[in-house]
Amino acid sequence: MTTSNYDPSAASRVLGEAGRTVRPLLTGMGVGAALMYFLDPRLGPYRRGVARDRTASLANRSVVLAEKQARNARNHLQGVLAEARKLIQVEEPVSDRKLGDRIRARIGRVTPQAGAIEVEVRAGVVVAKGRLKREIAQRVLSAIRRVRGVSSVEDRIERIPTEGDWA
């Protein structure tokens, strides 16, 4: 591996006055080329239109992205506040009927086979019965455990074998 001994200050010393006049010359050439590109009598209006449309599109996308990020931040803040309120509040006992309704609603969001599950509730203890595929049963039980007011879950769900089961 070779190392380079390039020293930019040495190059500017060698170029001297010529190096200081080349940069403005190149800058002027670039500005002139851009003006010719956009002010061309035949294609200039088209090119300016494309540049205008792309700039407007970028501005619109930026606004949409900013709104999306603001909405996301607001939703996250609401979630954090809800979690904080939940930690502070003393949970009042819920009736077995109301808890059963909460559980059935949660199961309905987890699986379309909610009718295949029977739920009994006694003092926060949930007994889940029915016949479900193994992976659906696990999702249902997990959902039941996350319902506010459930103290424990008794699993009496019969697992229906699927094609991938070896048992």
Closest alpha carbon to 110 in 149, 145, 153: 145
Instruction: Give 8's pLDDT tier (boundaries 50, 70, 90).
Output: low
Question: Does 83 reside within a domain?
Answer: yes
Residues 101 and 143 in one domain: yes
Residues 52 and 101 in one domain: no
Residues 107 and 153 in one domain: yes
Q: Which residue has the higher pLDDT, 94 or 119?
A: 119
According to the model, what pLDDT value does residue 2 have? 57
Which range of residues forms the domain containing residue 13? 9-37
Would strands 117-122 and 125-133 be described as parallel, antiparallel, or unpaired? antiparallel
pLDDT tens-digit profile of 40-79?
999 999 999 999 999 999 999 999 999 999 999 999 999 9
Q: Which residue has the higher pLDDT, 66 or 164?
A: 66
For the chain, state the CA radius of gyration: 35
- Which H/E stretch holds residue 17? helix 17-39
Residues 69 and 118 in one domain: no
Average pLDDT over residues 128-145: 93
According to the model, what pLDDT value does residue 69 have? 97
Question: Does 63 reside within a domain?
Answer: yes
- Spatial separation of the C-alpha atoms in residues 149 and 89, rounded to whole Å: 13
Q: Helix or strand or coil: residue 161?
A: coil
According to the model, what pLDDT value does residue 115 have? 87
Question: Does 1 reside within a domain?
Answer: no
pLDDT at 87 over 90: no
The fraction of the chain above a pLDDT of 90, given in percent, is 62
- Spatial separation of the C-alpha atoms in residues 69 and 74, rounded to whole Å: 9
Question: Does 103 reside within a domain?
Answer: yes
